[in-house]
Amino acid sequence: MWNENALRVCLCTDQAVAGGRSLTEAVEQAVSGGVTMVQLREKTACGRDFYNLAIEMRKLTKRLRVPLIINDRTDIALAAGADGVHLGQSDLPVEAARRIMEHGIIGVSAGNAEQAVLAWRGGADYIGAGAVFPTPSKDDAGEAIGLDTLRDICASVKVPVIAIGGVHAGNAADVMRCGASGIAVISAILANADPREAARKIAAAQKTATDIRIPCP
Amino acid sequence: MWNENALRVCLCTDQAVAGGRSLTEAVEQAVSGGVTMVQLREKTACGRDFYNLAIEMRKLTKRLRVPLIINDRTDIALAAGADGVHLGQSDLPVEAARRIMEHGIIGVSAGNAEQAVLAWRGGADYIGAGAVFPTPSKDDAGEAIGLDTLRDICASVKVPVIAIGGVHAGNAADVMRCGASGIAVISAILANADPREAARKIAAAQKTATDIRIPCP
């Protein structure tokens, strides 16, 4: 299920952003609209609840044929049979996670080229670069890094980069032009009343930046 | 390093309880006084800090030849090469942890016989029963279960039980007489100005309950 194309539109979950709606329903709609990967992100749930949700999402994402990545907790990723784990700068070092997850996908958040290079050299399969723009969804995201730093990160590593933080249909093409392989979104899809349509618009906007047009002779 | 004797005096760490003192120094002193196992318990540290501390404790406990158990995080236990993990009722289910940690020691907290039996049948190597007495060290410990419930737990499972929560030199013999294989302490050792002497007193008090005296003919 995993190749670079899976990184095109990553949906990071957040039950708070989803409001009272069912997360599984929102995810299913978002995937039907164009989401290519799901990252389960639960910063406040206890381990047991996070694990139970991961098991539920594993069933759903298998049916929908998209990879499932677990935020932060490599043990929950392994126990739930997820495709991989996404690590922040204050989570397990990528080398440590790789020791216990030999074959899974490991993504690492980076806020600058130095962090990105360390993660890539440490064995990361992809880099989550951000927050590119200011965002209300990730309290721990820090200052927005902007498009210049995103471009810098993309040029510094030999693994795919996905841009996260304040990305929506209106700026998705801009981040792709910086060299990103994909984008990750929370609010732009989950806070929308119609996750399918929100995902479709983002995927379409992103595509405009990467369509190769053969010039007329 | 692991056998039932290792469970006799388990020190659960808590940097807050240790005050400004070095945790490694306190642990080294406590082991020289009679502590037989160390459980690293860091409820507020981020994953990275918890992992780095686990690596440091792994070196120390190897040198001191006592098992090291990591609280809650099976991934950190695996990555740091600890001897096992201790799971609360809101952590990963024991069956899930066993799937990813085939050979390690898995302990599970239980507050009653039903939880203890589920944990034992699920594959736990030992049960942490408590809180036996009211305790200030574990905010999440719930109501004290008392000696009757401890006795009930010890009689219900075929794996060793360690008593935790408000255990000190003055009541260590009482909990051992309930059928416990050991005790776990935080404050009684870490909050003491002399961890070595505190551990020695607890180990001595505990021993009075388990010494077998051959009656004169």
Encode pLDDT of B63-78 as tens digits. Answer: 999 999 999 999 999 9
pLDDT(A205) > 80: yes
Residue of B20 and B161 predicted with greater confidence: B161
pLDDT band with cut points at 50, 70 and 90 for residue A211: low
Own/partner pairs for A47-50, CB < 8 Å, 24+ apart?
A47/A73, A47/A76, A47/B72, A47/B90, A47/B91, A47/B92, A48/B89, A48/B90, A48/B91, A48/B92, A48/B93, A49/B90, A50/A76
Question: How far is Cα A78 from Cα A75, in angstroms, rounded to an integer?
Answer: 5
Q: For chain A, which residues make up each domain, given as ranges?
A: 4-192
pLDDT score at B64? 97
- Average pLDDT across chain A, whole number: 92
Q: From residue B65, how far is each of A181, B25, B27, B32, B74 by CA, in Å?
A: 49, 15, 12, 11, 21
Spell out which residues of chain A touch residue B74, defining contact as CB-CB under 8 Å. Answer: 75, 79
Task: Give the containing element (helix H, strand E) for A202.
Answer: helix A195-210
Residue A15, number of CB atoms within 10 A of its CB? 19
Of B115, B114, B113, B70, nearest to B90 by C-alpha is B115
Quote the pTM value.
Answer: 0.92
On the CB side of A173, CA atoms within 13 Å amount to 10
How large is the average pLDDT for residues A10-33?
Answer: 90
Residues of B classed as catalytic:
41, 109, 138
Q: What was the pLDDT predicted at B119?
A: 98
Assess contact for A160 and A141: CB atoms under 8 A.
Answer: no
CB A72 within 8 A of CB A87: yes
Q: Is the dihedral of CA A99, B10, B66, B41 positive or negative?
A: positive
Mutation test of the interface with chain A: which of B44, B92, B106, B139, choosing the one with the most A Cβ atoms within 10 A? B92
**More confident call, A166 vs B16:** A166
Contact A79, B99 (CB under 8 A): yes
In this prediction, residue A207 carries a pLDDT of 84
Mean pLDDT across the stretch B112-139? 92
- Are A171 and A131 spatial neighbours (Cβ–Cβ below 8 Å)? no
Confidence (pLDDT) at A73: 97
Mean pLDDT to the nearest integer, A54-78: 98
Looking at the partner chain, which of B47, B51, B91 has a beta carbon nearest the beta carbon of A47? B91
Distance CA A143, CA A13 (A): 21
Contact (CB, 8 A) for B180 and B12? no
- The predicted pLDDT at position A19 comes to 77
Mutate to test the interface with B, among A42, A50, A100, A106 (most CBs of B within 10 A): A100
User: Predicted ipTM?
Assistant: 0.91
Q: How many residues does chain A have?
A: 217
pLDDT band at A41 (very low <50, low <70, confident <90, very high): very high
- The percentage of residues in chain A with a pLDDT greater than 70, rounded to a whole number, is 92
Q: What share of chain B in percent tops pLDDT 70?
A: 92
Which percentage of chain A shows pLDDT scores above 90? 81
Minimal CA separation from A52 to chain B, in Å: 9
pLDDT reported for residue A21: 83
More confident residue, B44 or A28: A28
Is residue B211 very low, low, confident or very high in pLDDT (cuts 50, 70, 90)? Answer: low
Residues linked to residue B110 through DSSP beta bridges, in sequence order: B129
Structure confidence at residue A80 (pLDDT): 98
**Predicted local distance difference test score (pLDDT) of residue B18:** 80
How do residues A77-123 score in pLDDT, each as one tens digit? 999 999 999 999 999 999 999 999 999 999 999 999 999 999 999 99
pLDDT at A2: 66
The confidence score (pLDDT) of residue B139 equals 57
Q: How far is A78 from chain B (nearest CA, A)?
A: 7
pLDDT at residue B137 greater than cutoff 70 = no
Q: What's the CATH superfamily of A4-192?
A: Aldolase class I (3.20.20.70)
Question: Is the pLDDT assigned to residue A140 strictly greater than 80?
Answer: no
- Partners of A109 on chain B (C-beta within 8 Å) are none
